[in-house]
Amino acid sequence: MDNSRIDAGDGVLAARREGESRANAVPPGVEYHRVLAGDERRIGRGILAIVLLVGGMWAAILGFSVLAHWLDGVIGTPDTAPGRGPLTPALHAFGLVGNAVLLPWAMVIQRWLYGVPGASLHSVFSRFRFDLLTCALLIIAPAFVVLNVVSNYVLPSESTVWVQNDLLWILAATLVLMPLQAAGEEYGLRGLVFRVAASWGRGPRVSLFLGIAVSAAVFAAFHLAGDPWLYIWYFVLAVSTALITWRSGGIEIAVAIHVAFNTLSFVFAIALSTDLGAGIDRSTANAANGIALIGPALVVIATAIVVWIRTRATGPARTPLTS
């Protein structure tokens, strides 16, 4: 056997692997939202990525809702009940899972369409910084607790008598799955969509504007709300968390905000025996929603300002120059 041929073959294979590794590597020295940017804008590919992301989410939600209805039929769960209305524990749990699917799905889409590792959606360091998440939760969660107390005291919601089994299962699903639901939306919107839209811009400022505008529009649109006050809240949340993600170089603080708000809002609603059937109705304008969301909006904006000030000297975090 000719050893020279073996050596040449090994060299070609090594070069090919090195080329693939470079093609799939996260670009060094770039900001979070510019990771997918290149010489070409690839607008068609970006639109496909967004369609796949949102379509995959709705497909998962609809698929899981069918499964939830089947499960309710098997165990004999009534269609409606005091407190929860038509929202059965199974529908609540599987609906949260449908949103949580966005987390791995966003990573798959990014890897498939752009060749960039899914782990890069965590942060510019391609890892999730749990220390940063913990610090953010220790500050943000108490603020939302206070806001929930004040809001429910000033604007008490309609209460009703819950069926105990419903109460226990919906509470359990909220505590276990709501954080995953919130994280899924952040990875999908402030992660993938933010990056995809930002890659359409030539310069960093245009990229940032496009990333924030498109991700905010998609985030608001897929909530399908008819209340304009809620759309204002979605806009404030989307813009603030996108800015935070950009400046901090990762998704962790945005996840902390979304998890704390969603989870605590539901926990307080359940603890106060709120009528969820009426509370989850987003089809009509409700001035009470606008008043109740002033506090959370201020907390989110204040967090963005603090992150900006803390990174003023260093600028936004960038991907490491060396792995």
The span from the CA of 146 to the CA of 313, in Å, is 32
Render the burial of 27-66: b for 16+ CB within 10 Å, e for the rest: eeebbbbbbbbeeeebeeebeebbebbbebbeebbeebee
The span from the CA of 41 to the CA of 169, in Å, is 47
For residue 7, pLDDT over 80 is answered with no
pLDDT at 281: 59
Which pLDDT band holds residue 101 (cuts at 50, 70, 90)? very high
Residue 310 has a CB neighbour count (10 Å cut-off) of: 11
User: At residue 123, what are phi and psi to the nearest 5 degrees?
Assistant: -170, 175
Residues constituting the chain? 323
Residue 218 · residue 192 · CB < 8 Å: no
The span from the CA of 205 to the CA of 200, in Å, is 11
pLDDT tens column, 168-196? 999 999 999 999 999 999 999 999 999 99
Paired tokens of 53 = 């992301």
Coil, strand or helix: which one is 85?
A: strand
Coil, strand or helix: which one is 159?
A: strand
